[in-house]
Amino acid sequence: MRTYHCIPLLIWTYMFHTVDTILLQEKPNSYLSSKKIVGLTKDDGKMLRRTKRGWMWNQFFLLEEYTGTDTQYVGKLHTDQDKGDGNLKYILTGDGAGSLFVIDENTGDIHAAKKLDREEKSLYILRAKAIDRKTGRQVEPESEFIIKIHDINDNEPKFTKDLYTASVPEMSGVGTSVIQVTATDADDVNYGNSAKVVYSILQGQPYFSVDPESGVIKTALPDMSRENREQYQVVIQAKDMGGQMGGLSGTTTVNITLTDVNNNPPRFPQSTYQFNSPESVPLGTHLGRIKANDPDVGENAEMEYSIAEGDGADMFDVITDKDTQEGIITVKQNLDFENQMLYTLRVDASNTHPDPRFLHLGPFKDTAVVKISVEDIDEPPVFSKVSYLIEVDEDVKEGSIIGQVTAYDPDARNNLIKYSVDRHTDMDRIFGIHSENGSIFTLKALDRESSPWHNITVTATEINNPKQSSHIPVFIRILDINDHAPEFAMYYETFVCENAKPGQLIQTVSVMDKDDPPRGHKFYFEPVPEFTLNPNFTIVDNKDNTAGIMTRKDGYSRNKMSTYLLPILIFDNDYPIQSSTGTLTIRVCACDNQGNMQSCTAEALILSAGLSTGALVAILLCVLILLILVVLFAALKRQRKKEPLIISKDDVRDNIVTYNDEGGGEEDTQAFDIGTLRNPEAREDSKLRRDVMPETIFQIRRTVPLWENIDVQDFIHRRLKENDADPSAPPYDSLATYAYEGNDSIADSLSSLESLTADCNQDYDYLSDWGPRFKKLADMYGGDDSDRD
């Protein structure tokens, strides 16, 4: 350890002078933070004394990575105020105080409690002070000092990557740069050679070398070939201490690949190739493949095949398969064994991307001989044309020959051939063919207007070998003959105004013709010979295949003639001339001043015949009066019908009648008798209609008595059957209410209605004495008037 001592400087002055106190300035890197004020005086001829420095230091530097068993001694704090009696206490604060650095508060000795690493922290700033234990006051001002950590070579160089990948073109010259590797050392570059790195190659010689200072890897051998060796693994070492003994080192691996360049021409593995081909193969057929080898890869191995020369250069072709780099021999023209049996070709294979740097090595192509043998086969007949076109007039007679097809056998045997029509292309059997000579004739009449073209297929078959056949299309065009007369192009609705003037155009007509003359249509319009001079209209030929209809007189009358028929003779100019007569119907109509049609109907004619508006109004009034009389008669007839019993707005179409009267209470024993409804033995003479007021209220239909002790359910079903079988029941649904109390009641019926079962008449005049509440019953049963009501 090093110890720094500060030597005080004494400044002497003359006797009669006093030296003021000087404050020593603190340096930035000073390890003594504060100093005492030094004063020099002269009194009575005695020397002035200097006050001693308060702090004493004896350690400021530490080595990193201390491995001793004891704590590492750093230094000592001491003040001249310390008498050694233990009254002072030393305190340490700052970076690492208490954890990394500890102080003996009695002696002021500082120790490092842990192992320090300069790479983590190289400088620590601490502060120290001394206080009186009794008073707690500082005896010296707080001072700051610095502890530096000295570096040792404890870090080996490390490369930025564990594995490098690089490439260099093959055939490169010596010294070609490949890649640069870099290693770093965490030690202090400013202290010794701990961080000075030197590169060297451990594996990869003699092919590559490395620059010891920069770490650049370069090629060491010329013309290294990828085809011989493509991959190289180079191990580079980085060593500190300038590469000297005892230095630390690190290694990395560099994988170097030689990339391809086009330095090899293609080469065929054999000089001659042999292929066979039947003479009947279609055009474009692949006969075989050839391939030249190129040790290069990628686009440097791409090649193109071509036919250089030979007697079959115009019969065959070669195309390049880009995926497999093969040359495919194809048929370019039809082969014929009878003409030539063997072809010899010269095929070249050349690189498509040659490298100019290596052209001196020779031509980058190779040539091979390709021999193709043609095999003889039994071929089908061959027609003299690819297709046939026959033109025939549509008026040709049935059985007439319209054309001929010819075919021959290309083989040496020259077999006989027969011809036929494929009926799938001639479903109507319009054409036939002579099987011996191929003459085509008609079987039916032709019509250009229905079918201007006929496309049939003719088959030629060898007689000795029916499997050998050929087909040929025959296009038959039907030529037009003028066999249709022109006619109106449409139906014309023509009218003439009553106020028309002579020479007024009322219609322009055009015609159509189904024929198609080569010089185009030309139509003429004339009046029919029977009516050459029409007094009403004139036909004017416009010379453009249209005609105009003109008025010939002044005014027309619908009363005299409502419709005119105008025949027009139409003919064409083709041969033979065809003509027809078209009749134009012209109606006479009422028009306004501008010539716009207003009416052409019969009603308008009647109006114009003399019926005025007043007469029409009178006729309408008469019809209306008749309708009113009919309605009144129907209403009176309906009033004569019987008035229905139920006319209330509360009519619910049932048998319930509402009286709105109150009864006489419990003491009223003569008000109503409902015994008829409650007693199953009650008798009724007949049922009354519920929709018509009865003739007499006392006419009651008697029913068949029920047997004693009948069940209520059977009683109800019996009543329902009686109602359903009653012919006088209304035609709508009604409500019938029945009540059954059984037989042998101890109390007799208290209802006055029980009297209805008697055959004698009763007197109900006493109802009038019961008060207004029974007035309704008194009116109903009091006398003859009530019966009428």
Residue with tokens 């008609």: 442
In a 10 Å sphere around its CB, with 0-12 CB exposed, 13-18 middle and 19+ buried, how is residue 376 labelled? middle
Tokens representing 199 are 């590169």
Q: Which helix (H) or strand (E) holds 588?
A: strand 579-591
Question: Alpha-carbon distance 505 to 537, whole Å?
Answer: 10
Query: Tell me, what's the pLDDT at 475?
Result: 96
Count Cα neighbours of 29 within 13 Å in the Cβ-side half-sphere. 4
Which of 73-87, 219-233, 626-640 is predicted most confidently? 219-233
For residues 147-175, average pLDDT: 86
The string of DSSP letters for 71-106 reads PEEEEE-EETT--SSS-EEEEEEETTBTTTEEE-TT
Cis omega (within 30 of 0) on the bond before 206? yes
The three-state secondary structure class of 653 is coil
Question: Alpha-carbon distance 229 to 232, whole Å?
Answer: 8
Distances (CA, A) of 80 to 3, 5, 130, 146, 597: 18, 15, 11, 22, 144
Tokens representing 606 are 């009647």
Question: Alpha-carbon distance 5 to 24, whole Å?
Answer: 16
Question: Alpha-carbon distance 240 to 157, whole Å?
Answer: 7
For residues 522-540, average pLDDT: 87
Query: Tell me, what's the pLDDT at 232?
Result: 94
276-319 pLDDT, tens digit per residue, is 999 888 999 999 999 999 998 888 889 999 998 778 888 999 99
Question: Alpha-carbon distance 287 to 279, whole Å?
Answer: 12
SS3 content of the chain, % helix, strand, coil (to 5): 15, 35, 55
Q: Are 311 and 341 in contact (CB under 8 A)?
A: no
Tokens representing 210 are 């490395």
Q: Are strands 388-393 and 469-479 parallel, antiparallel or unpaired?
A: parallel
Query: What count of other Cβ atoms lies within 10 Å of the Cβ of residue 624?
Result: 9
Strand runs labelled E in 377-497: 382-383, 388-393, 401-404, 407-408, 417-421, 431-433, 439-442, 453-462, 469-479, 487-488, 494-497
Nearest-10 Cα torsion for 761, 762, 763, 769: -150
Nearest to 431 by CA among 461, 465, 463, 404: 404
Binned at pLDDT 50, 70 and 90, residue 48 comes out as very low
Question: Alpha-carbon distance 752 to 718, whole Å?
Answer: 26
Query: What count of other Cβ atoms lies within 10 Å of the Cβ of residue 79?
Result: 19
Binned at pLDDT 50, 70 and 90, residue 384 comes out as very high
Binned at pLDDT 50, 70 and 90, residue 625 comes out as very high
The three-state secondary structure class of 38 is strand
Which of 59-73, 80-94, 353-367, 443-457 is predicted most confidently? 443-457
Q: Is the pLDDT assigned to residue 102 strictly greater than 50? A: yes
Query: Tell me, what's the pLDDT at 473?
Result: 96
Residue with tokens 């570096």: 151
Strand runs labelled E in 434-575: 439-442, 453-462, 469-479, 487-488, 494-497, 505-512, 523-527, 537-541, 546-551, 563-572
Q: Are 133 and 87 in contact (CB under 8 A)?
A: yes
In a 10 Å sphere around its CB, with 0-12 CB exposed, 13-18 middle and 19+ buried, how is residue 605 labelled? middle
Q: Are strands 494-497 and 579-591 parallel, antiparallel or unpaired?
A: parallel
Question: Alpha-carbon distance 432 to 399, whole Å?
Answer: 9
Q: Are 290 and 274 in contact (CB under 8 A)?
A: no
Query: Tell me, what's the pLDDT at 114?
Result: 79
11-39 pLDDT, tens digit per residue, is 222 222 322 322 223 333 333 333 332 33
Residue with tokens 């019987």: 642
Residue 258 bridge partners (DSSP): 168
Residue 259 bridge partners (DSSP): 169
Round the average pLDDT of the chain to a whole number and report it. 77
Cα angle at 252 between 251 and 258, to 5 degrees? 140
Q: Is the pLDDT assigned to residue 115 strictly greater than 50? A: yes
Lowest-pLDDT range of 119-133, 294-308, 765-779: 765-779
Which of 114-128, 209-223, 744-758 is predicted most confidently? 209-223
218-258 pLDDT, tens digit per residue, is 999 998 988 899 999 999 999 888 777 878 889 999 999 99
Q: Is the pLDDT assigned to residue 412 strictly greater than 50? A: yes
Q: Given phi > 0 = left and psi -120 to 50 = alpha, else beta, which region is 136?
A: left
Residues 425, 427, 428, 430: is their CA dihedral positive or negative?
Answer: positive
Residue with tokens 């010979």: 529
The three-state secondary structure class of 108 is coil
For residues 146-168, average pLDDT: 85
Q: Are 211 and 199 in contact (CB under 8 A)?
A: yes
Polymer length in residues for the chain: 789
546-563 pLDDT, tens digit per residue, is 999 999 888 888 888 889
Nearest-10 Cα torsion for 330, 336, 337, 342: -40
Distances (CA, A) of 740 to 657, 670, 715, 745, 749: 21, 21, 8, 12, 13
Lowest-pLDDT range of 29-33, 305-309, 357-361, 384-388: 29-33
* Amino acid code (one letter) for 207: Y
DSSP annotation of 262 reads: S
Q: Are 435 and 418 in contact (CB under 8 A)?
A: yes
* Amino acid code (one letter) for 447: D
DSSP annotation of 242 reads: G
Q: Is the pLDDT assigned to residue 587 strictly greater than 50? A: yes
